[in-house]
A and B are shown apart, each in its own frame.
Chain A
Amino acid sequence: MIYLMIVPGVVLYYVFRYITMPGIMIAFQEFTTGGFKYWCGFENFDKLFGLRAFWQAFRNTWVFIGLEYVFIKPSPIILALLLNEVRIMWFKKTVQTVSTLPNFLTWVVVSGIFIQLLSPSTGYVNAIIALLGGERIYFLGRAQIFPWLLTFIRIWRGVGYSSIIYLAALGGVDPELYEAAVIDGASRWKQTLYVTLPGIKNTIVVLLVFSFSGIMGGLFEPVFTLTDGNALLDETAMVLDVYIYNTGIRQGKFSMSTTTGLFNSIISTILMLSANYASKYLTEDGRTII
């Protein structure tokens, strides 16, 4: 009886997770929309690595990853630290409520909001620029601006929600440590540096290590909804996620798409395992996260 209860879950898992697993072998096959043709070894990888478009997508993906770890990942920590210093409870709660909300909007809507907001003719941002006597800018037509724009929007959407977990961690720091620091004459800045940050270090490390498992992904919806295949932006906006979709679903090149996907997951796995290994130097008990 007890075993029966898990049967629906196990069956669905078998069908949707396990049956598709051998599908990665398509990366080593000539496989068209018509189906399997023949085994071709590493030919697909050779072909892929010879494509300029692939390397462009690869480079762009890494630019976004760099921006993510320099700006996006630290932003909720900073927000949590600042919110933690706010002593007016209703204000703190209001800021939290407001900032958490965008995370629950689909990327389509988030991008749509910013497309309208940044519109050269009717958006607020250009209205302000025009009021100040500047030239109207077509933000979404400029490849150089795009990575920064997307980084800003990703922070706008996610910073409040991601800060929740850090705020919880901050609440768990022993108040006696602060009292001791105050008696020792530590300023608030010093308290942050020597009590607060070490107190939430473990949370930061755990989240960091786990974040590597999806490091190469998660860009499809933000990039795709904001660019709409605008070729002007490809120079900086074409990322591997979108490349996989374009080659596979739009152009029907199943082999190339799967090869790119496999390449992606190999890199993510290597990065996550390395991060996990490195984490033992950062945790207090010297053990790895996983």
Chain B
Amino acid sequence: MLKRSLGEKVFNIFNLLGMLVFSVIIIVPVLFVFRNSFELSETSTTTLRLWPEQFSMVFYGMVLKDESVYRPLLNSVFVTVVGTPLMLIINALGAYTMSKRELPGKSFFAYYMVIIPMLIGGGTIPGFLLIRSLGMIDTLWAIIVPGLASGWNMTLIRNYYWSIPNELTESARIDGAPEMTIFVKIILPLSKPVLSALGLLTGIGLWNTFYAAMIYIRSPIKWTFPVKIRETVMKNEGNDKLWEEMMVAAGLDPTELLINQSGLGGAMMVTSMLPILIVYPFLQKYFAGGIMVGSVKG
């Protein structure tokens, strides 16, 4: 064991302190929004405390009762739950074709799916015109379908297939198993790591959809949740009538209390973060995996 110099010890201490401060800076803004979402009255929000002074679930009640809030929430759930498996199926299938090195036209697929679209793209307006001519404007399909096939994801999955030893499929092939059986029974189960990582990233991407919804969705009832969150946070207001009803039901006098204006936005943001926060600790390796999948075994 080498002896550490004084300078190194000092550096270590400052480094640890620095990392601690850094973590606090990352986490406090999130905790602040959590507190905000449970804080009922406006007057108490100027303090630095991390817990609410007047604890209340009323804003979460609003999220669940106000149709203009929970419909976008359900839309985001729909987009995520439908889009993610579809993406995985389409790309895992296509990747299998691409993974056949001996297949004629293999490089055609690589050019067709990855290289050319990377260099030439239509842009926002041509995309909008296409969606319009397909009659998908103002439907959730406009958010799900255009991104389903991804040459990039297909390439990543294909690279993973390549890392699966041939011996595993060889015997099945000799027994005369059709390709589809080999794919479903052998390849897919072995590809769980890459599919989980990509599925997770795609799912989060769909859950967080904002830009596509801003372009393709017109009616507020069909918005994705982030679009609704943005509107609420910016305007700091909700459905006043429902608001009062809920206050009365909770035994509070709506005329006397100065309501925490940012509470509803806070509750909506927490609702949006919650699924990610819940799965994050369990699936952390896949979260981190997403960025690495592309870089190993290129």
In the complex with contacts A9-B94, A106-B208, A17-B121 CB distance below 8 A = yes
- Let me know if B32 and A117 touch, CB within 8 A: yes
Binary contact track B86-128/A, C-beta < 8 Å → 1, others 0: 0000110110111010010000010011000111111111111
Binary contact track B261-272/A, C-beta < 8 Å → 1, others 0: 110011001001
B204 surroundings in chain A (CB, below 8 A): 104
B36 part of interface (Cβ distance < 8 Å): yes
Looking at chain B's contact residues, is the secondary structure mostly helix, strand, loop, or mixed? helix
Interface residues of B in 120-149 (CB under 8 A from A): 120-130, 145-149
- Number of B residues, CB within 8 Å of A: 95
In the complex with contacts A20-B127, A24-B122, A113-B30, A86-B16 CB distance below 8 A = yes
B7 part of interface (Cβ distance < 8 Å): yes
B25 surroundings in chain A (CB, below 8 A): 156
- Let me know if A106 and B272 touch, CB within 8 A: yes
Which single member of B23, B113, B260 contacts A95 (CB below 8 Å)?
B23
Interface residues of B in 52-90 (CB under 8 A from A): 90
- Let me know if A106 and B210 touch, CB within 8 A: yes
Interface residues of A in 198-248 (CB under 8 A from B): 213, 220-221, 224-225, 228, 244-245, 248
The answer for the CA separation of A126 and B293 in the assembled complex, in Å, is 42
In the complex with contacts A106-B272, A161-B291, A13-B149 CB distance below 8 A = yes
- Let me know if B32 and A21 touch, CB within 8 A: no
Q: Which residue of A lies closest to B132 (CB)?
A: A33
In the complex with contacts A6-B98, A24-B126, A257-B124, A86-B19 CB distance below 8 A = yes
A17 surroundings in chain B (CB, below 8 A): 117, 121-122
Q: Name the residue among A20, A21, A221 with the largest chain B CB count within 10 angstroms.
A: A20
Looking at chain A's contact residues, is the secondary structure mostly helix, strand, loop, or mixed? helix
- Let me know if B91 and A9 touch, CB within 8 A: yes
In the complex with contacts A6-B109, A116-B265, A221-B210, A95-B19 CB distance below 8 A = yes
The answer for the CA separation of A156 and B254 in the assembled complex, in Å, is 38
A22 surroundings in chain B (CB, below 8 A): 122, 126
In the complex, identify which listed stretch (A37-45, A258-266, A278-286) lies at the interface while the others stay far away.
A258-266
Q: List 8 A-B contacts (CB under 8 A).
A: A2-B179, A6-B98, A8-B93, A9-B93, A108-B226, A122-B42, A131-B48, A261-B125
Which of B's residues lie within 8 Å of A, judged by CB? 2, 5, 7-8, 11-12, 15-16, 18-19, 22-23, 25-30, 32-33, 36, 42, 45-48, 90-91, 93-94, 96-98, 100, 103, 109, 112-113, 117-130, 145-149, 151, 154, 178-180, 183, 204, 207-211, 214-215, 226-227, 229-230, 233-234, 260-262, 265-266, 269, 272-273, 276-277, 280-281, 284, 287-288, 291-292, 295
